[in-house]
Amino acid sequence: MSRAWVDALKQRRRETGSIAPLTQTKFRRRVLDGQDDRLAALIAARPDATLTELRDALRTSVGLATIWRAINQLELTLKKMPMSGSSPAKE
């Protein structure tokens, strides 16, 4: 038991008159909730699409990390395609 925890408990009792635990915070729902099928279809159609292209196709402004987590939760993979002209020329 830490001193800080005891101090916080005393403060809670002063403010509320109780030392009962606070209610648990409710978490937000997933931002891309309900778009799993659409995301899977986009990846199936273009497995080499970038995260930015997927975000634009979904018409959303979520972060790229959110798109990546959604893909990861669906256990899908994106395929890397070589860029044209990026390989060294053979002589």
pTM above 0.75, yes or no: no
Q: SS3 of 76, please?
A: coil
pLDDT, tens digit, for every residue of 1-59?
A: 899 999 999 999 999 999 998 888 877 777 787 888 898 899 889 888 889 999 999 89
Contact present, 67 and 50 (Cβ < 8 Å): no
The burial of 71, by beta-carbon neighbours within 10 Å (0-12 exposed, 13-18 middle, 19 or more buried), is given as buried
CA atoms within 13 A on the CB side of 8: 8
